[in-house]
């Protein structure tokens, strides 16, 4: 692991690091904020998964999350959204290829050699940061925006006991029923829909749910709301009778202005679960 940068931030340290990833078969970059409390021992960890076209840097610089994490004594990790490099397959469209890993393990060519973001986020990166930094890996929570909200929800529900809480900003709720999903799931996983089900948050909510606190926010004027399909998630929550807070925020769109507005609430929500 190599250090790209480390900057003092709200009493803690915002770092950027690179490492050779065996999961993605390329070099990967991530950001990690450590609060001041990490100087004295391991601290809880909140994962933030970003959306389409993003890198590790977008939320790190735009979401305003470090201030609230510092207040709570929580670390924040910002993984990249896809593999990178000259040898990594790509597509001319913004919603497939680099910047659009969708947090799955691709099984189809040309994506399979590198696009294994599920293994990277669920297995490889936690093992690396748990070994290298003062993190309490028994206390983890997860959140994300858009494609990253999809990733946060599906990873949390597929890994019971791993995360104390899950939240999402404008998540892609039902990729099996949306153009933001069917295209990518077909490209990465093939045309058999049974392989898609574990990557559909609404399906998972209906079938297995989440044993812990759940919070979701979507802007009522989100320009992509028809692709996000929050109504399908609302129905799944009601069908399962899952304890959850599911909010449509009046007048907000899909941007980081929306994310930063409600970031304090999301970090406090996770802190309550992490320190319970």
Order of strands across the sheet with 75-79?
A: 2-9, 12-21, 26-34, 75-79, 43-49, 135-144, 166-169, 214-219, 245-249
pLDDT, residue 89, reads: 97
pLDDT tens digits, one per residue of 95-132: 999 999 999 999 999 999 999 999 999 999 999 999 99
Mean pLDDT of the 126-155 span? 98
What integer pLDDT is reported at residue 218 of this predicted model?
98
Report the mean per-residue pLDDT for the chain: 97
pLDDT at 196: 97
- Interior CA angle at 57 toward 54 and 60, to 5°? 115
The span from the CA of 196 to the CA of 175, in Å, is 9
Q: What tens digit of pLDDT does each residue of 161-202 get?
A: 999 999 999 999 999 999 999 999 999 999 989 999 999 999
Is residue 237 a contact partner of residue 204, using CB atoms and an 8 Å limit? no
**29 strand-pairing partners:** 18
How many whole angstroms separate alpha carbon 176 and alpha carbon 200? 6
**What is the number of structural domains in the chain?**
1
Tokens of 263: 């970031």
Report the distance separating Cα 31 and Cα 244, nearest Å: 29
Burial class of residue 71 (count of CB atoms within 10 Å of its CB; 0-12, 13-18, 19+) = middle
**Mean pLDDT computed over 256-260:** 98
Structural domain range at position 228: 2-274
Active-site residue numbers?
146, 222, 254
- The pair of three-digit structure tokens given for residue 105, joined into one six-digit string: 């393990």
The pLDDT-based confidence of 78 (bands split at 50, 70, 90) is very high
Closest CA to 152 of 133, 138, 165, 139: 165
List the CATH number of the domain containing 67. 3.40.50.1820
CA atoms within 13 A of residue 173's CA, in its CB half-sphere? 25
Q: Residues 12-17: what's their mean pLDDT?
A: 98
* pLDDT value of position 208: 97
Gap between the Cα atoms of 69 and 72, Å rounded: 5
């Amino acid at each position: 692991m190599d250090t790209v940068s480390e900057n003092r931030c709200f009493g803690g340290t915002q770092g950027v690091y690179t490492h050779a990833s065996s999961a993605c078969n390329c070099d990967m970059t991530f950001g990690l904020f450590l609060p001041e409390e990490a100087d004295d021992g391991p601290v809880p960890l909140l994962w933030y998964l970003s959306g389409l076209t993003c890198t590790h840097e977008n939320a790190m610089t735009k979401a305003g999350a470090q201030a609230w994490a510092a207040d709570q004594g929580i670390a924040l990790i910002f993984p990249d959204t896809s593999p990178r490099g000259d040898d990594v397959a790509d597509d001319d469209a913004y919603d497939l290829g680099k910047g659009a890993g969708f947090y799955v393990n691709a099984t189809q060519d040309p994506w399979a050699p590198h696009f294994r973001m599920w293994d990277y986020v669920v297995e490889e990166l936690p093992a690396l940061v748990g070994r290298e930094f003062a993190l309490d890996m028994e206390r983890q929570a997860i959140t994300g925006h858009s494609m990253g909200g999809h990733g946060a929800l599906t990873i949390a529900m597929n890994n019971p006991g791993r995360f104390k809480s899950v939240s999402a900003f404008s998540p892609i709720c039902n990729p099996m029923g949306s153009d933001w999903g069917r295209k990518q799931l077909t490209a990465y996983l093939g045309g058999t829909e049974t392989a898609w089900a574990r990557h559909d948050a609404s399906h998972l909510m209906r079938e297995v749910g989440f044993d812990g606190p759940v919070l979701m926010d979507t802007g009522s004027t989100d320009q992509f709301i028809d692709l996000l399909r929050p109504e399908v998630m609302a129905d799944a929550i009601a069908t399962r009778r899952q304890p959850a807070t599911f909010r449509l925020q009046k007048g907000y769109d899909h941007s980081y202005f929306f994310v930063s507005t409600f970031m304090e609430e999301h970090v406090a929500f996770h802190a309550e679960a992490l320190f319970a």
